[in-house]
Amino acid sequence: MRFAAIATLLLSLSFPVEAAVNPRYSAAGMTVDGMICVDAATGAVLSQEKADYPGHPASVTKLMTTLLVLEDIRANKLTMRSRVTVTREATRAGGSSAGLVPGESFTVEEMLYALMLQSANDVALALAVDREGSAPAFVSRMNRRAAELGMSRTTFVTPNGLTYGAGPHDTTTARDLAKLAVALCQFPELLKFTGTKQYVFRRPGKPMELLNHNHLLGSFPGCDGLKTGWTVAAHASMVTTAKDKDLRVIAVVLGCQSPAGAKPEQRLRDSLAADLMTEGLVKLRQLEAEKALRIAQLPTIKPAPKPVVKPKKEEGFWGWLGDLFSF
């Protein structure tokens, strides 16, 4: 019996499958649109549940906005010190904001802190207009990039994820968000923003203290990102990551819903994401150990001896003379 249990556990660690509905939250009347945990280095799936089921990402949408900005920096189209001027369009965003005023300007670095910590919808719009001239043009670019990343079940309609009522809403899946997060983790500078708990956004004459909405920072060892999201229409979602030595996992929880409201949804989201990362790191360590064992068991193959090449004898008189005086 014990052997069978161990064998079942090993199989579950080696072959991720679609999990059954988790009684942990379904018993309380809660639902989740989808979950997944992947290896940040390769994108390999470590665990998943309803990973291809559609949901609305809310402010997790801002991760695509951030990716496009970071890609423009890498392409030398701007720098962290480049200044972004706030337009009137950006100040009409609504929801969570940095209180931007038309005509103000901030560095890209300052805006990325406000985008990641405050989840500032006005900052997302300001960056979108700065990069592509208008929010609709930037959203078109978001969708093109999503297609390039293989996010085949994703459609963006905003740069910030703030939608209302019947929509239209940004739509995606847990698997697609994992693909986006893997691409983002190729930018180590991102983690400076997503891993910061507190930042002072220095608005002229009115500094604003920003607090990161990711409650796993500090409470989960090695957690340094990435983004939370919640709206009435989308409920609670999260893409997060944690590192243990040279191993890193990414966990996605999409669309946590609770009849008790926002706070229980957010607590469930955080708890499920922590569980996914814990289990994911355990699986990665096991896979690394198995890989090391296989390498150690490989037979050692000695290289074949190099053939001895004798110098070619010279023919004729000089060859005869050489043979005569060789001893």
pLDDT tens sequence across 5-41: 433 333 333 333 333 345 556 656 789 999 999 999 9
| Rounded average pLDDT over 39-46 | 97
Task: Provide the domain count of the chain.
Answer: 1
Query: Based on C-alpha coordinates, what's the Rg of the chain?
Result: 28
pLDDT of residue 135: 96
Going by pLDDT thresholds of 50, 70 and 90, the confidence category of residue 87 is very high
User: In this predicted structure, what is the pLDDT of residue 5?
Assistant: 40
Inside any domain, residue 7: no
pLDDT range class, residue 195, cuts 50, 70, 90: very high
Q: Residue for token digits 């290896």?
A: 39
310 vs 209: which has the higher pLDDT = 209
Does 62 participate in catalysis according to the annotation?
Answer: yes
pLDDT at 64: 98
Residue with tokens 């074949």: 304
Q: What's residue 303's pLDDT?
A: 72
Name the catalytic one among 47, 50, 62, 179.
Answer: 62
CATH number, residue 202? 3.40.710.10
105 is catalytic: no
Please report whether residue 58 resides in a domain.
yes
Q: Assess if residue 311 is contained within a domain.
A: no
Domain that holds residue 64: 15-295
Asked whether residue 169 carries a pLDDT value surpassing 80, the answer given is: yes
- Amino acid 28: pLDDT: 66
Q: Is residue 217 part of a domain?
A: yes
Please tell me the predicted confidence (pLDDT) of residue 197. 96
Give the span between the Cα atoms of 74 and 107, in whole angstroms. 16
**Per the domain annotation, does 41 fall within a domain?**
yes
Which among 47, 59, 97, 258 is annotated as catalytic?
Answer: 59
Average pLDDT (181-209) is: 93
* CA–CA dist 258, 31 (Å, integer): 7
The active-site residue out of 47, 119, 237, 258 is 119
- Per-residue pLDDT at 304 exceeds 60: yes
At residue 4, the pLDDT reads 39
**In terms of pLDDT, which residue wins out, 205 or 109?**
109
How many CB atoms neighbour CB 204 within 10 A? 9
Mean pLDDT of 192-219: 92
> Rounded distance, CA 231 to CA 21, Å?
24
**In this structure, is residue 55 part of a structural domain?**
yes
Q: Look at residue 321 and tell me whether its pLDDT is greater than 90.
A: no
Sort strands 247-257 and 31-39 into parallel, antiparallel or unpaired: antiparallel
Q: Is 237 helix (H, G, I), strand (E, B) or coil?
A: strand
Concatenate the DSSP letters of all residues of 138-205 into one string: HHHHHHHHHHHTT-TT-B---SS----TT----BB-HHHHHHHHHHHTT-TTHHHHHT-SEEEE--TT
Q: What band does 288 get if pLDDT is binned at 50, 70 and 90?
A: confident
59 is a catalytic site residue: yes
Residue 173, domain member (yes or no): yes
Residue 31: CB partners within 8 Å, gap ≥ 6? Answer: 25, 255, 256, 257
Q: What is the pLDDT of residue 2?
A: 38
pLDDT digits (tens, 9 = 90+) for 90-135: 999 999 999 999 999 999 999 999 999 999 999 999 999 999 999 9
The pLDDT tens digits of the residues spanning 174-190 come to 999 999 999 999 999 99
Q: Is residue 5 part of a domain?
A: no
**pTM of the predicted model, to two decimals?**
0.83
The pLDDT of residue 289 is: 86
pLDDT cut 90: percent of the chain above it: 74
